[in-house]
Structure 1
Amino acid sequence: MAISLERLNAAPRLIIRAELVPIAGRRFQPTGFPDLGAAEYDHPTEPYRMLLVESPQSMANRMEKVCWDEAAKDWRPPLKGLPRVDVYDQHGELLTNSVLEAHRLNSPYILESKDTTVMDLLKRELGLLGESLPVDVSKLARTVFKYDPNAVLHGLFLAKKELAGGRLRLARLLSAFIEAEDARVAPNGGVKNDRVNPTGPTNQGFGNVPFHRDEYVARRIDAYFVLDLALLRSYGLGDIAETFLILFALYKIQHFLDEGLRLRTACDFDVKHVEVLRPARFQLPTADEIDRELPGLIERLRAEGLFAAENLRVRYDVKS
């Protein structure tokens, strides 16, 4: 393999920081939360405010978005052949899959369907675990890796009583977030103009409607990426599987930084600088280098039986 991962062999974490700057101007729009709005908080040691620009949950979804070709309804070319669970309706039309679903394999379209294909497979391969028995996390990781390797990186909670009393969980291997230092509100606003009836009833969508909006400026904006290598090794998946998952994680990071930084209409970033914080002197491979390595690893994992030969299919009847 052309890419050297030797410096990661004894490291507990791979930590990457990317400094970002707004692609135009200085203002940007952070993520918002119900009943909270923008997530501001005090810096623990400095006399200024911090701001959560993008949450770990959102970043996980955004890093998967750069893996998926929406037009082709399939993985992007370097990832073609990765196993997943596809969900079809009663007419044979593709509804969704375990990559796109919010809870991955735990999607109600997969585990709450009358089609019990995946539930039966999990029971069979994991064993009918009683509620009082310890969970074999390694066996769970191997099984999930075989049928939906993306969920091993993303993390998974199989919240079904029939499966070990709802205790089957894989912690997130790859985590990320974006935060801003010394963040300050940049208030602005506008008006929705009605060129026909400016004084019409605004509760029906008519009339001129002024609005207020808060954007932000910041001294510095950083994206952080953390890959838990110690947890990955604890699964006992083997060298090839570990190498694949590391490169898959790096694929997500590099392609997100290359093409996924338009987070919202008023939140679009460029990368100013990328550095590996831990382990020291690890050379981050480029997106092109990773793209060249992944297809061969996918072929090898399938040939050795560590990947399922075909995607699992589930039928979910949609009510008309």
Structure 2
Amino acid sequence: MSFDALSGAPRLLIEAELSPVQGQRFQPTGFPDLGAAEYPLPNSDRRGLLIESAQSMANRLEAVCWDEAAGTLDSALTGLPYVVSRLPDGEQTNSILEAHRLNSPYLVTSKEFDEIKAAIGFEKDKPFDRRKLAAALLRFDPNSLIHGIFLEKVGGVVRLPRALSAFIEAEGANVAASGGVKVDRVQPATTGESTAYGKAAEGYGNVPYHRDEYVAEQIKAYFNLDLALLRGFGLPSEATDLLVTLALFKVRRFLHSGLRLRTACDLDVPETGVTVTRPEEGFELPSLEALTDRVSGCIAACKPHFRDPPVLEVTYKK
């Protein structure tokens, strides 16, 4: 497997054709006070539809790295650094799963986080060297170099943009309206003097509801890996190789096992449905098996740049 075709490319753009696993209907993402993000397509009478947003996809691309059953990183990523926070009730959280990654209040408030602050080297009223930030993130949490980070609790300029972004949208989308009834087998009625238990607002009675799903002519997932940004970190070549491989591993793993977005949105990608659109020639997205082997080798090659041991454990302090 060679990445030579990517050496001069500023971006790696990937598209994946998707379709519902069964039937034609699917449920898109929704937003408060807005519902589904439906919009007119430029120069067309067809409608577009956002199925999964960039912010949600960033979280999903992290989630495929985590083995929920084992409570640790996927076995292919063994040895990759991250930070674990021990909470007062015996539970724990970590920088892979937290919404703000290393900037989570469950991590940055700990005494042990001072080790990361020292490595970042931010000093107030002095120019900030982002290459030093990149080296620190490589040491403590390389996933943050791909996901992006804003450590505003350390300093307002301690940030890096997202290197791997993605979203899913549909073209030629139309509403498939349906509905149902929540059935109460004890007390069907919710009005009148004879109501024995309570009203519908309290969860009682038969409650009809409407439901909007969608059908579409085409569904696509889009992935954008900013290769120029990764090179600009000034990291050793083996570290840049790790970040590119890890990003592609996330894409392949998501397409393989992360496409059940919601109960009513279970998608699939055909074997020939993945296309690299930039660079236009010379590169194809490797298989999941090939990327799994390569990412393990990259982690081993970068061990001298990682913290030892790679998992930093901190204790949450309110």
Q: Same fold (TM over 0.5)?
A: yes
Matching residue's letter, 1:221: I
What amino acid is the match of 2:180?
G
8 Å Cα contact 2:249-2:292 kept in structure 1: yes
What does residue 97 of structure 2 align with?
100
Between 252-261 and 199-208, the greater mean CA deviation after superposition = 199-208
* Alpha-carbon separation, structure 2, partners of 1:234 and 1:284: 23
Give the 3-state SS of the residue equivalent to 1:263 in structure 2.
strand
- Residue type of the alignment partner of 1:79: L
CA deviation profile, 1:19-48 (whole Å, cap 9, x unmatched) = 101111111000001111101112122222
Whether 1:225 aligns to 2:219 is no
Corresponding residue for 2:293?
A: 292
Amino acid in structure 2 at the alignment position of 1:277: T
Residue 135 (structure 1) aligns with: 128
Q: Match of 1:117?
A: 112
Q: CA deviation at 1:317?
A: 5.0
Aligned residue number for residue 144 of structure 1: 137
1:64 deviates by 1.4
Distance 2:99 2:56 in 1: 10
Counterpart of 1:245? 243
Question: What are the equivalent positions in structure 2 for 1:1-320 lying under 5 Å apart?
Answer: 3-90=1-88, 93-111=90-108, 113=109, 115-118=110-113, 120-130=114-124, 132-160=125-153, 163-164=154-155, 166-200=156-190, 201-272=199-270, 273-281=273-281, 282-302=283-303, 305-310=304-309, 311-316=311-316
Structure 2 SS opposite 1:285 = coil
Q: Is the 8 A contact 1:190 1:212 kept in 2?
A: yes
Between Structure 1 and Structure 2, how many residues are aligned?
306
Task: Please tell me the residue identity of whatever aligns with 1:186.
Answer: A
The residue identity in structure 1 corresponding to 2:265 is C
Task: Please provide the CA RMSD for this pair.
Answer: 1.3
Displacement after TM superposition at 1:265 (Å)? 0.6
| 4+ long deviations beyond 3 Å | none
Cα drift, residue 95 of structure 1: 1.1
1:102-122: CA deviation from partner (whole Å, max 9, x where unpaired): 0000000011x3x3221x223
Name the amino acid aligned to 2:148: G
- AA in 2 matched with 1:238: P
Amino acid at match of 2:301: R
- Secondary structure of 2:305's counterpart equals coil
CA contact (8 A) 2:122 2:128 kept: no
Residue 295 of structure 1 aligns with an amino acid whose one-letter code is S
Q: Once the two structures are superposed, what CA deviation does each residue of 1:215-259 show, in whole Å capped at 9, x if it has no partner?
A: 011110000000000010000112101111111011110011011
The answer to whether the Cα contact below 8 Å between 1:86 and 1:94 also exists between their aligned partners in 2 is: no
Secondary structure of 1:25's match? coil
Deviation at 1:128, TM superposition (A): 4.2
Q: Distance in 2 between matches of 1:150 and 1:126?
A: 16
Task: Tell me the amino acid that sits aligned with residue 256 of structure 2.
Answer: D
Distance 1:168 1:138 in 2: 11
2:256, 2:172 → 1: CA distance?
26
Letter in 1 for 2:253: H
Gaps of 5+ in 1: none
After TM superposition, the score normalised by the length of structure 2 is: 0.93
